[in-house]
Structure 1
Amino acid sequence: MPQFLTRGLFCLVLFVTPMAVAADELTSIISVSGRGEVHVPPDQITLRVGVVAEARSAQDAIQLMSDDARLLLEALEDAGIPAQDVQTTMLDLRPVRDPNGAVQGRQLRIIGFEAQTQVTVTSRDLIGIGALFDDILAAGANQINGFNFGLQDTEKALNEARVLAVKDALAKAQLYADAAGVPLGAILEISDVATGGGFEAAPRMMAADAGIPMAPGSLHLSAQVFVTVAIGE
């Protein structure tokens, strides 16, 4: 029973083996893996911005934070961000202790309170994202906790990668069949493997009339499949 091994990006093993397809019938098969990748520009961005305020009392800290958070939400509404794309995802209140007031065997003395909130915002206007950052900061946000680019329709891009993965697997199967001097028969099985995606930086910044320059780059998504093909007669 011949067995072939090739080396490359993946360790791929080609099996030409008999496979039971009926009680009294056997067929030989070729099993291969295929991989497909697509690179697409993002069409949305998710921001995580927040407001932090300090005061002597917990009530005053909450009030100051709430006032700035209200201005932030109003600025997002004025910028045309739909309400369903704005979500408060964190609210926190903690004591502020005197770092210089330590007494042996006792906790640091509380000298105030810090109130914090975080809002997650999704925008589909990548051209105006720099100006949106400026509006957010002007409205009172004093914390940026990160952002990530994404796609509105991830499944569409993944389907393109899946098609490429199947084509890649069939091309390999044909290559090995030709090398072995045997014809290919029917496809017996295609199985999908869970895969993911990633982010690539752009070589230049996004053009913008004002605001923080942003580099959207491109997203890469991949798919992998295993294909079993019968060897023809």
Structure 2
Amino acid sequence: MYREGRTVEVSGSASVSAPPDVFTVILEVSSTRDSASLAQGDVTGQCSKLIDSLINLGLQKKAISTERFSVTPDYELIFDDNRREVKLKGFKASSWMTINSRELDLAGRILDVVVDGGLTQIHSAGFGATNWQEHAYDALRDAAKDARMKAIAIAEGLGVNLGNAVSVTTDSNDHRSYYRHELDEARYCRSETSPVATPDAIKGAATIRATFKLLTGSSKVFQFTNKDSNLWFNSFQPNRRGKRIEDVISLSENLRLEVSVEDLDGNTVVQRAVLSALNKGQPGLKVIEGKEDWRQQLGTYGGDYLLVINRVSYV
């Protein structure tokens, strides 16, 4: 038999996709020379040529950004007999560049320009969706709904009701792991021999784990005052064991409650009614099925009763 405080842990997953709208290349331009000035000149000149070539291709200058420029000594470790020696080989200058093209059909030609330019190493190249974060949030919401539906099915199978979620975890990287469609070996290919095909969609996924309360016994009975002609109310008092309905069920959720109503002596006065969550600045419930019986038996104003929750579901 289940005792109050028991929980169920479930997982939920969802996938999401979005049409690609940007082609991104992240590359590094570098040169090692005997002097720092020569290495810096190589990198500065190559970056300038590369930017000019990309603009001539049809890209706007704002689609190209350079960052992380550095010049560092380049050392070589030499082992001679049992002696180890560190020797200065020269100086390495490098600058990183990011290219974001909204013209997806230019992907192959962009790679050609980068590869042909020399002194460059492509670190990543692929298609992406600029509004991917919104889709990632949708995936998390859908994963949460999937977890909740599983928990509801388990609770129904066990003959108990489902309460609030008490903990939720998710892989922080999971919802962003597929936000780009990376090209295979993009740094080595040329579009003449390896055409760059635009993917139909950028795909991703999200997974969460959630723990829900399982409600049984006295936690299903709450005292309330019926006091509104519109049949919605929020004056749920602690029941005979001191519980408030808000402690076990979130009245801000899209809930559907199948209930019956008893008077304070335990006599059934409403056999069946269906309530839904109604949030008008504060938690509440509204009768959506069985209104006539409710009005006839309870009236529209006044009176204290016991609400017996027989089934909880989410819509």
Provide the TM-score with structure 2 as the length reference. Answer: 0.50
Matched, 1:83 2:62: yes
Do the aligned residues in 1 keep the contact of 2:140 with 2:207 (CA within 8 Å)? yes
What letter is aligned with 2:46?
D
| From 35, 59, 62, the counterpart of 2:12 | 35
Q: What is the aligned partner in structure 1 of residue 92 from structure 2?
A: 114
Aligned residue for 2:59, secondary structure, equals coil
Aligned partner letter, 2:208:
Q
1:52–1:155 distance in 2 versus 1, CA, 3 Å: closer
Given candidates 147, 150, 158, the residue that maps to 1:180 is 158
Residue 204 of structure 2 is aligned with which of 215, 220, 232?
220
Structure 2 gap ranges (5+): 185-189, 217-308, 311-315
SS at match of 1:128: helix
Aligned letter for 1:18?
E
Shift of 1:132: 0.8
1:33 maps to amino acid: V
Contact 2:12 2:209 in 1 (8 A): yes
SS of residue paired to 1:108:
strand
- Is it true that 1:134 corresponds to 2:118 in the alignment? no
Structure 2 SS opposite 1:83: helix
* Structure 2 residue aligned with 1:18: 4
Deviations 1:70-89 (A, max 9, x none): 11122333331452652323
The Cα shift of 1:32 comes to 4.1
> Which amino acid in the other structure matches residue 4 of structure 2?
P
Share of identical aligned residues, percent?
Answer: 19
Please report the RMSD computed on the Cα atoms of aligned residues, expressed in angstroms. 4.0
Residue pair 2:23, 2:125 contacting (<8 A) in 1 also:
yes
Residue 193 in structure 1 maps to residue 172 in structure 2: no
Rg: which structure is higher?
2
Q: Distance in 2 between matches of 1:109 and 1:189?
A: 61
Q: Which runs of 4+ in 1 moved over 6 A?
A: 98-102
Q: Distance in 2 between matches of 1:173 and 1:85?
A: 49
Offset from partner CA, 1:168-209 (integer Å, 9 cap, x none): 223223322332234x46x5347553332324979x9xxx97
Name which of 135, 140, 154 aligns with 2:132: 154
**Residues 106 and 33 (structure 1 numbering): CA distance in 2 closer, same or farther, change over 3 Å?**
closer
CA shift at 1:68, angstroms? 1.0
Structure 1: stretches of 5+ with no match in the other structure? 3-16, 20-28
Q: RCO higher in 1 or 2 (8 Å CA, sep ≥ 6)?
A: 1
Aligned length: 203
Confirm or deny: 8 A CA contact 1:170 1:227 kept in the other structure. Answer: no
Cα deviation, 1:84-110, whole Å, max 9, x if unaligned, reads: 6523234234346697999x6754364
Provide closer, same or farther for how the CA distance between residues 178 and 75 of structure 1 changes in structure 2, counting only shifts above 3 A: same
Cα distance in 2 between the residues matched to 1:163 and 1:105:
58
TM-score relative to the length of structure 1: 0.64
Q: Secondary structure at the match of 1:18?
A: coil
2-structure distance, mates of 1:148, 1:18: 52
SS in structure 1 opposite 2:4?
A: strand
**Residues 103-124 of structure 1, C-alpha deviations (whole Å, 9 max, x = no match):** x6754364x4433222122334
